[in-house]
Structure 1
C-alpha cells in the first residue's frame, strides 16, 4: 500500500477506578454514556484525527511526485496564473479562465476539483461577497466551475500560493483493513477489530474505518510518545492502538507516446499571483 500510520492511547486502571459507579453504569443498556466513556471517546477521536492528518501529509508526498503533463506547457511544472487586480480589464489568458481553458485543452471531463492554499484560497473566499466587476465578468459564477478545497499542506508539498487541479477519480485512495475477517478477534491476550468514526474530511463529515488493537498491560510498560517521540512509562491498564494502511492510486500512462495527450494524468499544477 505504501502508507501506514498508527497511534496509541492508554487508560490506566487507576483512572478507571476513579469512576467505579460510572464504569459499571456504562455496561447497563439504556443508560447515558458516563463521563469516563465520553472522555475516552474524545481521546479516540483526537487520536484518529491526528492519524488522518499524518496520512494527508503522506498522500501529498505521493501526489506531488505524480503530477501529469499540462498540454499547454508540455510539462508538469507549476503554471503561473495571475488573479488580475485591475477589474476594468478582462484578459482572456489569465485567472480562472485560463485554468478552465487548460482543463478543456487537456480533454478532462467532469467538475474539476482544486486543492490549494494562499492567494487562491483568499480569492475563492472573496467570491461569496462579490458581484460582477467593472469588466462585466461575474467572478463568483466563474468560481462555481470548480469544487475548491483548502489544504495548508499544499504550501509545504507543492509551494506557497500553489494549487492542484484534479479531474474526478484522477487520484484515488486504496485502503487495506488488516483486522477484518479471520484476522480479527482475540489473538492471544489481544483483541483485533475495525471500527468507524465520523470524521471531518475537508468540509464534510464522513464515516472513516480504522484498524484497532486492544492490549491489556498487566504491569508498567515503556512506550514511545506519539507526539514528542520520547519514551514514557504507562502503568497497568488498557492500550488502544489505532492504525490505517492505504495507498494512493494515480493514473500512470493512459495514452500512447504518439498521442497528443501522452503524459496526461488528470492533474495540473498552478502558482497564483495577484497583480
Structure 2
C-alpha cells in the first residue's frame, strides 16, 4: 500500500506546482540556477522561430522542411536581350531533425513529495502563507543537478555538431582554421591584427550584424583583459575593437576544435531545434504516473561577460514504484534497489540547423559560405 494516494497527489499537488514553483524559487535565489554553457547560451540568444519546435502547442509532432532557392549570378546574365532564354532556378528542400538526446533519471523520496505537496496545497488554501523553503529548495536542487547534467551533454553534442559544419572562408578558399595574431607590441598598429582580420573576413564573406565569437583560451583572455585596457603607445584603444564582437565563453572549445581556436558566426546562422514530446500532452496517465514539460531559468554569462537569464524547456516523467524496485544506475551500470517512491526522468531532444553547404551555386562568389568561420589565435610579438 502506498504511503499516500499518489494519484490524488499528482492531480491536486505536485504536477501543477512543479511547473511554477521551481522557476519561482530560482528567481528568488539566483544562485540556484544552472551552469554556464557558452554554445548553448549563444543558441538561446538567437531568434528561435516557433517552426523549429518539432512538437506544436497541441502536442502534435510535425515534420519541418526548409525550402531554399539559390540566387542567380552574373553567369546567368546575357549581354543581349532575347525572349528565347530563361533561367530555371527551382526550389530545393532539406529536413530539420534532432541529433542530440539527453535523459537522466532521479530518485525522489515518497515522503519528500508528500511534504512538498502538503505545503503547496496549504499555500493555495491560505493566501499569503509561505511554504517551507527547505523543502522547496531540496526538491529544486535534486532537479537542478539532473538538468545541469543534461545541459552539459546537450551543449557538447550541439557544439561538436556545429564544428563539423564550418563554412568556407573566402579569404582562404577553405574551411580550415585561419591563423590570426593578437600582437603584443603596443608601439605599432598593424592592419592585419587579429580583430581587424576577423572584421575584414566578415565583410569579405558578406556576413552582417555583430560577429558572434565562441571559444576559450587566448581569445577569452583577450576579452577579459579589456577591463583594464586603454590607449597604447600607437594610439589604439583595444576596448573599441573588442566591443565590435559578442563573445561567449565555451570551455569545450580547445578540446573539440583545438587549442586557442574560436568559432565566428553571423547572427542566426545556426539555430536551435527542439522536440518536446510531452508539449501539449502533459498530465496524469491511466497508470497513475505523470508527464509534462517544464521551463527552467539559466543564469549564465552572455556576450562580453554580461550576466543574463535564459529559459530552457525539458520533458519530464514521474514514474511511481509501490514497492522496492530494481533500476540500473546511469553512471556505473550496476543494479540498484530503490524504495517506494518516484523515479523522475528529465529529458531533452534537440539539434541545430545551419546554412547548408550548397546554399550558393558553384559559380557564385559565396559558394561554400555558411555564416561560420574558424580561426586559430596566437599572441606573438611582431617586432620583438
Give the shorter-chain TM-score range: over 0.9
TM alignment of 1:119-138, pairs within 5 A: 119-138=218-237
Show the 5 A alignment for 1:109-148: 109-148=208-247
Displaced runs of 4+ in structure 1, greater than 6 A?
none
Structure 1 distance, partners of 2:336, 2:360, is 53
Query: What secondary structure does 1:265 align onto?
Result: coil
Residues 210 and 71 of structure 1: CA distance in aligned 2, closer, same or farther (over 3 Å): same
Q: Counterpart of 1:208? A: 312
- 1:153 corresponds to: 252
Instruction: State the match for 1:27 in structure 2.
Output: 121
The answer (yes or no) to whether the contact 1:57–1:153 under 8 Å persists in 2 is: yes
Report matched runs for 1:105-254 at 5 Å: 105-181=204-280, 183-189=281-287, 190-203=289-302, 204-252=308-356, 253-254=358-359
- Residue segments in structure 2 that go unaligned for 5+ positions in a row: 1-97, 303-307
Deviates more, 1:185-194 or 1:257-266: 185-194
For 2:187 and 2:332, the matched residues in 1 are separated by 53
Residue matched to 1:259: 364
Q: Structure 1 residues 161 and 180, CA, compared in 2 at 3 Å: closer, same or farther?
A: same
Post-superposition shift, 1:87?
Answer: 1.0
Q: Secondary structure at the match of 2:343?
A: strand
- With 107-116 and 193-202 compared, the bigger mean Cα shift is at 193-202
Deviations 1:106-146 (A, max 9, x none): 11001110001001100010011100111111110000110
* TM-score normalised over the length of structure 1: 0.93
2:141 aligned with 1:42, yes or no? yes
Q: Does 1:80 align with 2:174?
A: no
Note the 1:96-107 alignment, pairs <5 A: 96-107=195-206
Find the aligned partners of 1:75 and 1:221 in 2 and give their Cα distance: 56
Q: Structure 1 or 2: larger strand share?
A: 1
Residue 12 (str. 1) matches residue 109 (str. 2): yes
RMSD of equivalent CA atoms: 1.7
Secondary structure of 2:149's counterpart equals helix
Paired residues, number: 271
Task: Indicate the SS of the match to 1:26.
Answer: helix
2:90 is matched with: none
CA distance in 2, matches of 1:193, 1:103: 43
> Contact 1:198 / 1:207 at 8 angstroms: preserved in 2?
yes
**In structure 1, C-alpha distance between the alignment counterparts of 2:300 and 2:271, rounded to whole Å:** 15
Q: Whole-Å Cα distance in 2 between the matches of residues 225 and 121 of structure 1? A: 37
User: Gaps (5+ residues) in structure 1?
Assistant: none
**Alpha-carbon shift at residue 206 of structure 1 (Å):** 1.1
